[in-house]
């Protein structure tokens, strides 16, 4: 039995790599083999999924303080996760944010640093941003647009929200009040006009452009390509090739609901498995009733309880997957 293990993180309890390792242990303990592929959808975890950090730079944090931001350079390809430079994780969460002042400057500084280190291809994972500045801070930090001619910028987006909807959809999650959301909304609409005038790009018409507080739109104005994050990462990791020899695919995330099938890891892996005819299992902390029949699944809170599934997540995953594999082998 050969299993491809391609989970997302269980937010707050286990990284994608930790989840994959727990599933691998369950497979090996049942005399199977496993190909491990921790995944991400373009948001937090993108850097880890694409090989992890091998560089660190000091950049401007979301509220202006200097922060250490890990990133990756391999050959001529750089991988940047904007959350590591401009994310809420850098300030402790939305309750510590100043939504009107938060900036994407640090992400722009990382992009510039990558180019100065010789990168000609840059993958930028979005998600978890503290800012709703439409990417203005990043673009100003990147310097002359001429510097990026011949540079391939691929923006891995974890949402398909448009630029003009970014403030009302996401700014409340970043700590913005209703009044601040209205101010940010007006700013983004004015900024869209500026991008149109300066770069000739209508960011308001682009799917994904609202990702990371509009940073995706700002980068698109400079010529970056906006791509569904899961598809970009799956292509980089050659998920389709790994499925050729698989008897089973196991994926997962912390909460399985209808949004899991809208550009997220579980839905993406499921589509790949379906296309190749490989059976699939999704492991989740919690599974909503609305999707129970969409995919073979394990709910840790049902198998164990909420406390154990939150505090001993990987142990619960290993045990639950082991039980499933015994039944799977017997079929």
Interval 122-135: pLDDT, tens: 999 998 999 999 99
- pLDDT tens digit sequence for 195-207: 999 999 999 999 9
Confidence of residue 44 (pLDDT cuts 50, 70, 90): confident
Planar angle of CA 30, 31, 33, nearest 5 degrees: 110
pLDDT of 177 higher than 90:
yes
* CA proximity to 178, closest of 99, 102, 92: 99
Which two tokens mark 121?
A: 């291809």
Average pLDDT (130-148) is 97
pLDDT at 127: 87
User: Based on the number of CB atoms within 10 Å of its own CB, is 158 exposed (0-12), middle (13-18) or buried (19 or more)?
Assistant: buried
Q: What is the maximum alpha-carbon separation in the chain?
A: 64
Q: Under DSSP, is residue 253 helix (H, G, I), strand (E, B) or coil? A: strand
Please give the DSSP secondary-structure letter assigned to residue 224.
P
Tokens of 108: 């722009």
Report the C-alpha gap between 256 and 260 in whole angstroms.
6
d(CA 55, CA 37): 22
**Helix (H, G, I), strand (E, B), or coil: what is residue 106?**
helix
Closest by CA to 34, choosing from 315, 331, 325, is 325
Taking Cα atoms as reference points, which of 316, 271, 328, 315 lies closest to residue 295?
Answer: 271
CA distance 174 to 88: 8
pLDDT band at 331 (very low <50, low <70, confident <90, very high): confident
Percentage of the chain modeled with pLDDT above 70: 100
Residue 302 corresponds to which tokens in the numbers above? 């049902």
Domain ranges of the chain: 2-38+241-330, 46-230
pLDDT at 73 > cutoff 80: yes
Confidence of residue 43 (pLDDT cuts 50, 70, 90): confident
**pLDDT of residue 330 exceeding 90:** no
Binned at pLDDT 50, 70 and 90, residue 313 comes out as very high
Q: What is the pLDDT of residue 150?
A: 94
Share of the chain above pLDDT 90, in %: 95
pLDDT at 187 over 90: yes
- Across the chain, mean pLDDT equals 96
Residue 242 near residue 35, CB atoms below 8 Å: yes
Q: Measured between alpha carbons, how far is 267 from 231 in angstroms, rounded to an integer? A: 11
Alpha-carbon distance 167 to 96, whole Å? Answer: 18
Q: Categorize the per-residue pLDDT at 117 as very low, low, confident or very high, splitting at 50, 70 and 90.
A: very high
Q: Quote the tokens at residue 160.
A: 């398909």
CATH number of 2-38+241-330: 3.40.50.10350
pLDDT, residue 199, reads: 96
Four-point Cα dihedral 188, 193, 196, 197, nearest 10: -140
Class of domain 46-230: alpha beta
Query: Which pLDDT band, with edges at 50, 70 and 90, does 250 fall under?
Result: very high
Averaged pLDDT for residues 281-310: 95
């Amino acid at each position: 039995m050969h299993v491809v293990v391609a989970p997302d993180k269980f937010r707050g309890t286990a990284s994608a790599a930790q989840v994959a390792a727990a599933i691998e242990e369950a497979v090996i303990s049942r005399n199977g083999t496993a190909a491990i592929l921790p995944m991400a959808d373009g948001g937090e975890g993108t850097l880890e999924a694409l090989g992890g950090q091998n560089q660190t730079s000091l950049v401007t944090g979301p509220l202006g303080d200097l922060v250490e931001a890990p990133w990756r350079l391999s050959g001529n390809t750089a991988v940047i996760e904007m959350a590591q430079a401009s994310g809420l994780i850098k300030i402790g969460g939305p309750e510590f944010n100043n939504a009107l002042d938060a900036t994407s400057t640090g992400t722009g500084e990382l992009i510039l640093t990558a180019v100065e280190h010789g990168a000609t291809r840059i993958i930028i994972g979005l998600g978890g941003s503290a800012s709703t500045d439409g990417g203005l801070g990043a673009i100003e930090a990147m310097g002359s647009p001429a510097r990026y001619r011949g540079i391939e910028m691929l923006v891995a987006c974890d949402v398909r929200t448009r630029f003009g909807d970014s403030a009302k959809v996401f700014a409340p999650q970043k700590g913005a009040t209703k009044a601040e959301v209205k101010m940010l909304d007006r700013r983004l609409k004015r900024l869209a006009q500026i991008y149109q005038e300066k770069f000739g790009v209508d960011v308001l018409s682009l799917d994904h452009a609202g990702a990371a507080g509009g940073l995706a739109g700002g980068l698109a104005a400079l010529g970056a390509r906006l791509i569904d994050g899961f598809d970009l990462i799956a292509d980089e990791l050659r998920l389709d090739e790994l499925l050729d020899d698989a008897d089973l695919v196991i994926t997962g995330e912390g909460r399985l609901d209808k949004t899991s099938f809208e550009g997220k890891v579980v839905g993406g892996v499921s589509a790949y498995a379906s296309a190749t005819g490989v059976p699939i299992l999704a492991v989740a902390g919690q599974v909503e009733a609305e999707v129970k029949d969409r995919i073979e699944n394990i709910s840790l809170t049902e198998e164990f309880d909420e406390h154990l599934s939150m505090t001993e997540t990987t142990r619960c995953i290993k045990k639950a997957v082991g039980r499933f594999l015994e039944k799977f082998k017997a079929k």
